[in-house]
Amino acid sequence: MNPENDIGRSLDKIYGDGRAGQAAQLLDQVVGKYAGTPGGAPLRGKRDGYFDQSDVVLITYGDSLLSAGDPPLRALHSFLDQRVKDCFSSVHILPFVPFSSDDGFSVCDYYQVNPELGDWDDIERIERDFHLMADLVINHVSAKSEWFGRYLAGDPEFETLAIEVDPATDLSRVTRPRALPLLTPFKKDNGEQVHLWTTFSEDQVDLNFADPRVLCRMIDVLLFYVSRGARSIRLDAIAYLWKEIGTDCIHRPQTHEVVRLMRAVLNKVAPEVILITETNVPHGENVSYFGDGHDEAQLVYNFSLPPLLLHAFLGQDTRVLENWARDYLDIASPDCTFFNFTASHDGVGVRPLEGIVEPREIQTLAGHVRAMGGDVGFKRNPDGSESPYELNITYVDALRQPGGPQGGPEHARRFMASQEIQFSLPGVPAVYIHSLLGSRNWNEGVANSGIKRRINRRRLELEQVLAELDTPGSFRAAVFEQYCRLIRLRRGQPALHPNAELQVLHPQQNTVLALKRSGGGQTLFALSNLSPQPCTLRLDKLGIPEGLEDILGGQRVAGGTLYLEPHRTGWLV
Please tell me the predicted confidence (pLDDT) of residue 1: 65
- Kindly state whether residues 448 and 534 are assigned to the same domain: no
CATH value at residue 560: 2.60.40.1180
Domain boundary among 496, 526, 549: 496
Please tell me the predicted confidence (pLDDT) of residue 508: 86
- Kindly state whether residues 545 and 515 are assigned to the same domain: yes
3-class DSSP state of 266: helix
* pLDDT tens digits along 107-136: 999 999 999 999 999 999 999 999 999 999
- Kindly state whether residues 308 and 231 are assigned to the same domain: yes
Using the predicted structure, report yes or no on whether residue 173 has a pLDDT greater than 80: yes
Taking the C-alpha atoms of residue 248 and residue 175, their distance in angstroms, rounded to an integer, is 5
Q: How confident is the model at residue 372 (pLDDT cuts 50, 70, 90)?
A: very high
- Kindly state whether residues 492 and 508 are assigned to the same domain: no
476 closest CA partner among 404, 553, 416, 565: 416
Using the predicted structure, report yes or no on whether residue 47 has a pLDDT greater than 60: no
Amino acid identity for residue 46 in this structure? K
- Kindly state whether residues 256 and 366 are assigned to the same domain: yes
Q: For residue 377, report the phi and psi dihedrals to the nearest 5 degrees.
A: -100, 150
Q: What is the mean pLDDT of residues 410-428?
A: 98
Residue 45, domain member (yes or no): no
Q: What is the mean pLDDT of residues 267-280?
A: 95
- Kindly state whether residues 394 and 488 are assigned to the same domain: yes
Domain boundary among 439, 464, 496: 496
Strands 522-529 and 569-572: antiparallel
Q: What is the mean pLDDT of residues 405-430?
A: 96
Please tell me the predicted confidence (pLDDT) of residue 516: 98
Residue 561, domain member (yes or no): yes
Taking the C-alpha atoms of residue 398 and residue 375, their distance in angstroms, rounded to an integer, is 11
Q: At what angle do helices 253-269 and 3-34 cross, to 10 degrees?
A: 60
- Kindly state whether residues 450 and 529 are assigned to the same domain: no
3-class DSSP state of 101: coil
Please tell me the predicted confidence (pLDDT) of residue 37: 54
Using the predicted structure, report yes or no on whether residue 388 has a pLDDT greater than 90: no
Taking the C-alpha atoms of residue 456 and residue 369, their distance in angstroms, rounded to an integer, is 13
Q: Write down the mean pLDDT value for the chain.
A: 94
Residue 105, domain member (yes or no): yes
Q: How confident is the model at residue 40 (pLDDT cuts 50, 70, 90)?
A: very low
Residue 48, domain member (yes or no): no
Contacts for 288 with CB less than 8 Å, ≥ 6 apart: 251, 256
Taking the C-alpha atoms of residue 233 and residue 51, their distance in angstroms, rounded to an integer, is 15
Using the predicted structure, report yes or no on whether residue 456 has a pLDDT greater than 70: yes
pTM: 0.96
**Could you confirm whether 236 is annotated as catalytic?**
yes
- Kindly state whether residues 382 and 470 are assigned to the same domain: yes
Amino acid identity for residue 161 in this structure? L
Residue 187, domain member (yes or no): no
Please tell me the predicted confidence (pLDDT) of residue 3: 85
* CA 217 and chain centroid, separation: 24
Please tell me the predicted confidence (pLDDT) of residue 444: 96
Amino acid identity for residue 383 in this structure? D
- Kindly state whether residues 439 and 348 are assigned to the same domain: yes
Q: At what angle do helices 475-490 and 462-469 cross, to 10 degrees?
A: 80
Concatenating the DSSP letter of every residue in 314-330 gives HHT--HHHHHHHHHH--
Residue 334, domain member (yes or no): yes
Q: What is the mean pLDDT of residues 166-177?
A: 93
Residue 1, domain member (yes or no): no
Q: What is the mean pLDDT of residues 33-46?
A: 55
Residue 200, domain member (yes or no): no
- Residue 548 lies in domain: 501-572
Are residues 163 and 240 in contact, defined by beta-carbon separation less than 8 angstroms?
A: no
3-class DSSP state of 60: strand
* pLDDT tens digits along 309-367: 999 999 999 999 999 999 999 898 999 999 999 999 999 999 999 899 999 999 999 99
Taking the C-alpha atoms of residue 184 and residue 203, their distance in angstroms, rounded to an integer, is 9
CATH value at residue 66: 3.20.20.80
Q: What is the mean pLDDT of residues 3-30?
A: 93
* CA 1 and chain centroid, separation: 28
Annotated catalytic residue, options 6, 236, 335, 550: 236
- Kindly state whether residues 238 and 340 are assigned to the same domain: yes
Number of domains in the chain: 2
Give me the helices (H) in 491-554, please. none
Q: What angle do CA 352, 243, 245 make, to 5 degrees?
A: 105
- Kindly state whether residues 304 and 218 are assigned to the same domain: yes
Torsional sign, CA 457, 461, 463, 469: negative
Neighbours of 85 (CB within 10 A): 10
Please tell me the predicted confidence (pLDDT) of residue 348: 96
Q: What is the mean pLDDT of residues 74-94?
A: 97
Domain boundary among 472, 496, 520: 496
Please tell me the predicted confidence (pLDDT) of residue 378: 85
Contacts for 147 with CB less than 8 Å, ≥ 6 apart: 141, 158, 161, 217
Are residues 154 and 190 in contact, defined by beta-carbon separation less than 8 angstroms?
A: yes
- Kindly state whether residues 329 and 403 are assigned to the same domain: yes
